């Protein structure tokens, strides 16, 4: 690469790297694109444009093989975001979801998990524990046979290692058995209360070693939440939400929505946001009150506690 080409590339390099993508935050905003934010560190509320949230300068900029700062990882995320953005646009405009788009939302959830700063420490441990080959990135011959060739020694740059975030995200989709389990135990919940979006939107239940993939709750839009759980019967909860008594359904959905937002608030490193200012302020006040009383509850698990006892709502 010539000096001129290198200079031009540096000048064109993006700096504002969103770890929660702009297209997602947009779907939690008002019709005017505004969103109300609570900053946990400063303990302040403010109004913002959704485009100005959940970003970090040069988060995905790394030195390449030529010793030049390169934003290729950000470009990869940008391409992925374009695809996922189209999925959410289709869902929100048609109020329908195809089987393919359902699968894409599951992938979005796992990519969102590994993309945020809250998972940086877990990623550091994971990238040391798993090689590129372990994560399914290997070489095959013309007979489709896997070659015994260690690629890890050729992926020593931080930029190259960063690809493991995406490889980790696709692990649930690599093998048919795991993917089948994921599909058979996932569903969407339509919420009557506008959902929070936080700087750590993927809420995972406490990890148990024998479980390959843990239960999770993931807000997709302000009124749609993805749930994966092997601890409840998906058909039973969907039947309840579709055919149960309205009062019982409403009670469950209100409690589920509030618990989801408390969990999002607790998980957040700094910011949570919502298009409903009153709801945001109400949940924050309740959360602060419990914390002030010395309550040691694992608030990020609150939503799972509601989810796991849905049969009590259905039967009372």
pLDDT at position 151, please?
79
pLDDT at 256 over 70: yes
Max CA distance (Å), the chain? 73
- CB neighbour list of residue 299: distance below 8 Å, 6 or more residues apart: 262, 263, 265, 266, 287, 290
Question: What is the per-residue pLDDT for 4?
Answer: 41
pLDDT of residue 242: 96
DSSP for the chain, please give it: --HHHHHHHHHH---EEESS-HHHHHTTS-TTSEEEEEETTTTEEEEEEGGGSSEEETTT-EE-TTS-EE-HHHHHHHHHHHHHHHHHHHHHHHS---HHHHHHHHHHHHHHHHHSGGGHHHHHHHHHHS-TTTTT---B-TTSPBP----GGG--SHHHHTTHHHHHHTGGGTSHHHHHHHHHTEEEEE-SSPPPEESS--EEPPP-TT-SS--EEEEEETTEEEEE-SSS-HHHHHHHHHHS-HHHHHHHHHHHHHHHHHHHHHH-SSEEEES-HHHHHHHHHHHHHHHHTT----GGGHHHHHHHTHHHHHH-
User: Is 50 exceeded by the pLDDT of residue 136?
Assistant: yes
Question: Which tens digit of pLDDT belongs to each residue from 257-316?
Answer: 999 999 999 999 999 999 999 999 999 999 999 888 877 678 888 999 999 999 999 997
Res 206 pLDDT > 90? no
- The answer on pLDDT for 207 being more than 90 is no
Q: What is the pLDDT of residue 298?
A: 81
- For position 208, what pLDDT does the model report? 67
pLDDT tens string 63-95: 999 999 999 999 999 999 999 999 999 999 999
- Of residues 150 and 112, more confidence is placed in 112
Provide, rounded to the nearest whole percent, the portion of the chain with pLDDT above 70. 91
29 half-sphere exposure, CB direction, 13 A CA radius? 18
231, 309 in Cβ contact below 8 A?
no
pLDDT of residue 212: 67
C-alpha span between 304 and 227 (Å, rounded):
10
User: Which of 62, 83, 81 lies closest to 73, judged by CA?
Assistant: 62
Length of the chain: 316
Q: Bigger pLDDT: 133 or 109?
A: 109
Rounding to the nearest 10 degrees, give the CA dihedral for residues 181, 201, 112, 81.
120
Cβ-proximal residues to 295 (8 Å cutoff; 6+ apart), any chain:
none
Give residue-wise pLDDT tens across range 213-253: 899 999 999 999 999 999 999 999 999 999 999 999 999 99
Above 70 in pLDDT, residue 32? yes
Question: What pLDDT digit, counting tens, does each position of 156-195 carry?
Answer: 899 999 999 999 999 999 999 999 999 999 999 999 999 9
pTM, two decimal places: 0.90
CA dihedral sign, ordered 204, 254, 299, 56: positive
Which residues touch 278 (CB under 8 Å, ≥6 apart)?
none
Phi/psi-derived region of residue 144, left when phi > 0, alpha when psi is between -120 and 50, beta in every other case? left
Task: Give the pLDDT band of residue 143 (cuts 50, 70, 90).
Answer: low
Indicate the pairing of strand 69-70 with strand 62-63.
antiparallel
Task: Report whether pLDDT(142) > 80.
Answer: no
Q: How far is CA 156 from CA 95, 127, 140, 151, in A?
A: 45, 11, 21, 10
Evaluate if residue 211 carries a pLDDT over 80: no
Q: Which residue's entry shows tokens 């015994």?
A: 148
What does the alpha-carbon distance between residue 271 and residue 294 come to, in Å, rounded to a whole number?
22
Does position 145 have pLDDT exceeding 90, yes or no? no
Which residue shows structure tokens 């008002």?
A: 30
d(CA 120, CA 112): 12
**Is it the case that residue 11 has pLDDT exceeding 50?**
no
Q: Is the pLDDT of residue 1 over 70?
A: no
């Amino acid at each position: 690469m010539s000096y001129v080409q290198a200079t031009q590339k540096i000048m064109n390099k993006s700096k504002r790297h969103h770890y929660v993508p702009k297209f997602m935050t947009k779907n939690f905003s008002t019709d005017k694109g505004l969103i109300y934010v609570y900053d946990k560190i400063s303990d302040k509320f403010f109004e913002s444009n959704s485009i100005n949230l959940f970003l970090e300068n040069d988060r995905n900029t790394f030195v390449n093989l030529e010793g030049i700062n390169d934003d290729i990882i950000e470009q990869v995320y940008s391409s992925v975001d374009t695809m996922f953005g189209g999925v959410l646009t289709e869902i929100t405009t048609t109020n329908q979801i195809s089987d393919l788009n359902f699968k894409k939302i599951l992938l979005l959830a796992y990519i969102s998990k590994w993309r945020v700063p809250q998972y940086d420490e877990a990623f550091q441990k994971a990238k040391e524990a798993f090689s590129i080959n372990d994560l399914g990135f290997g070489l095959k011959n013309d007979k489709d046979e896997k070659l015994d060739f260690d690629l890890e020694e050729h992926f020593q740059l931080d930029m190259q290692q960063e690809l493991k975030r995406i490889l980790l995200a696709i692990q649930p989709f690599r093998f048919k058995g795991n993917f089948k389990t994921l599909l058979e135990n996932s569903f969407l919940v339509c919420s009557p209360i506008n959902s929070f979006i936080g700087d750590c939107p993927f809420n995972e239940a406490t990890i148990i070693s024998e479980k390959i993939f843990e239960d999770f709750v993931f807000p997709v839009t302000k009124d749609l939440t993805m749930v994966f759980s092997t601890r409840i019967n998906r058909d039973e909860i969907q039947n309840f939400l579709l055919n149960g008594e309205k009062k019982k359904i409403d009670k469950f959905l209100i409690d589920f929505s509030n618990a989801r937002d408390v969990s999002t608030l607790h998980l957040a490193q700094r910011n949570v946001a919502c298009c409903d200012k009153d709801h945001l302020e109400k949940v924050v006040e309740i959360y602060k009150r419990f914390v002030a009383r010395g309550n040691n509850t694992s608030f990020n698990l609150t939503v799972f506690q509601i989810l796991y006892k849905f049969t009590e709502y259905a039967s009372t």
